[in-house]
């Protein structure tokens, strides 16, 4: 990204925001490796996420399940969400490193970008350990989506790069905020959620500022293309959060589970409400075009 030279401490934009975020990171960063007792036994009565955030909550299939089956389902669902989180956090790291590769290393923008990469590495390890402890397995996106991810990492820049980071993190944030205070959820998962929500709030602030800078002089055609590309990527990420294998591992008929999940109006409503702030921001910066909005509506993010 091309940025103007840093001329004074009163400059606004990415450098001013980054300097504040660097100070926040120094004060408030947390370490899941020491904060969580990874060897403590799990309470068999605790969920992996709040029941209301299960993709099947409120469906006929949910009503047929025993409490034990519901608990097992939410654990595999959230393990899948964290696994996909690792996937797009690795994409995030690659995009940020490429963007900052030959920039001004003395600037706060560069320094916070590397702080964000370090945070994402820790978050990915935290998610990996959490899935190992909770269900003993992890999940990856469909191979076609994996190939799309490689293309995305290699080609995106400027507004699509940072808006893509923002969208992916906001999607995960929606699920985690809904579960991190719920005492029905496994305590170590609540801590995982708290750590990620706290530290990702800085990352999202940074991404929003980068997006604002990138779209400032964006032409009409480029803005339309960027909005659709971003919405397409977001829809792929969102619809891949709970992998079919997670339903199988939870002991369910995955064909029926997927069918009922796709018709689950309760879950769709929860997602729309959770994504409202994200959609407001995209509208503010001109990346919620009519064509993009149709894509978001199709996956119930709008």
Task: With cut-offs at 50, 70 and 90, classify the pLDDT of residue 6.
Answer: very low
Contact 206, 18 (CB under 8 A): yes
Q: What percent of the chain has pLDDT over 70?
A: 96
Which residues lie closer than 8 Å to 11 by C-beta, 6 or more apart?
A: none
Say how far residue 153 (Cα) sits from the centre of its chain: 16
Contact 164, 230 (CB under 8 A): yes
Q: How is the chain split into domains, by residue range? A: 45-299
3 or 225, greater pLDDT: 225
- Residue 24 tokens read as 């926040």
CB atoms within 10 A of CB 207: 25
User: Taking Cα atoms as reference points, which of 243, 267, 240 lies closest to residue 254?
Assistant: 243
- What pLDDT digit, counting tens, does each position of 135-192 carry? 999 999 999 999 988 988 888 888 888 898 888 888 888 889 889 999 999 999 999 9
pLDDT above 60 (res 301)? yes
The pTM score is 0.91
Q: What is the mean pLDDT of residues 63-90?
A: 96
Q: What is the mean pLDDT of residues 114-129?
A: 95
pLDDT above 80 (res 297)? yes
The predicted structure's pLDDT at residue 1: 40
Contact 139, 243 (CB under 8 A): yes
User: Taking Cα atoms as reference points, which of 85, 113, 111, 86 lies closest to residue 97?
Assistant: 113
Q: What is the mean pLDDT of residues 30-40?
A: 94
pLDDT above 50 (res 9)? no
The predicted structure's pLDDT at residue 12: 54
* Phi and psi angles of residue 185, each rounded to the nearest 5 degrees, phi first: -95, 145
Q: Helices in the chain by DSSP H: which ranges?
A: 14-28, 32-35, 60-64, 67-99, 108-134, 143-155, 158-177, 187-215, 220-239, 244-249, 254-262, 265-274, 276-284, 290-298
Correct CATH for 45-299 of 1.10.10.10, 1.10.3720.10, 2.40.128.50, 1.10.620.20:
1.10.620.20
Task: With cut-offs at 50, 70 and 90, classify the pLDDT of residue 4.
Answer: very low
44 or 168, greater pLDDT: 44
Task: With cut-offs at 50, 70 and 90, classify the pLDDT of residue 32.
Answer: very high
- Residue 133 tokens read as 């402890």
Contact 104, 14 (CB under 8 A): no
Strand partners, 14: none
Say how far residue 199 (Cα) sits from the centre of its chain: 12
The predicted structure's pLDDT at residue 227: 95
- What pLDDT digit, counting tens, does each position of 216-228 carry? 889 999 999 999 9
């Amino acid at each position: 990204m091309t940025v103007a030279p840093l001329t004074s401490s009163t400059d606004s934009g990415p450098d001013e925001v980054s300097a504040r975020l660097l100070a926040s990171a120094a004060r408030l960063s947390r370490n899941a490796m020491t904060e969580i007792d990874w060897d403590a036994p799990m309470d068999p009565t605790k969920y992996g996420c709040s029941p209301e955030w299960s993709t099947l909550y409120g469906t006929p299939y949910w009503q047929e399940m025993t409490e034990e089956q519901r608990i097992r389902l939410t654990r595999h669902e959230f393990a899948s969400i964290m696994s996909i989180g690792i996937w797009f956090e690795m994409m995030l790291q690659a995009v940020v490193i490429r963007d900052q590769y030959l920039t001004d290393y003395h600037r706060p923008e560069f320094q916070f970008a590397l702080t964000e990469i370090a945070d994402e590495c820790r978050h990915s390890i935290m998610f990996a350990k959490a899935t190992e402890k909770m269900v003993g397995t992890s999940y990856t996106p469909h191979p076609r989506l994996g190939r799309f991810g490689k293309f995305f990492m290699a080609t995106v820049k400027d507004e699509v790069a940072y808006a893509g980071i923002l969208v992916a993190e906001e999607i995960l944030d929606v699920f985690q905020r809904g579960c991190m205070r719920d005492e029905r959820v496994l305590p170590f998962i609540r801590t995982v959620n708290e750590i990620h929500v706290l530290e990702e709030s800085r990352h999202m602030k940074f991404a929003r500022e980068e997006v604002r800078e990138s779209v400032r002089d964006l032409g009409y055609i480029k803005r339309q293309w960027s909005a659709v590309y971003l919405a397409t990527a977001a829809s792929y990420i969102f619809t891949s959060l709970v992998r079919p294998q997670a339903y199988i591992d939870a002991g369910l008929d995955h064909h029926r589970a997927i069918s009922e999940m796709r018709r689950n109006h309760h879950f769709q409503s929860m997602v729309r409400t959770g994504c409202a702030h994200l959609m407001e921001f995209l509208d503010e910066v001109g990346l919620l075009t009519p064509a993009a909005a149709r894509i978001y509506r199709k996956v119930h993010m709008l």
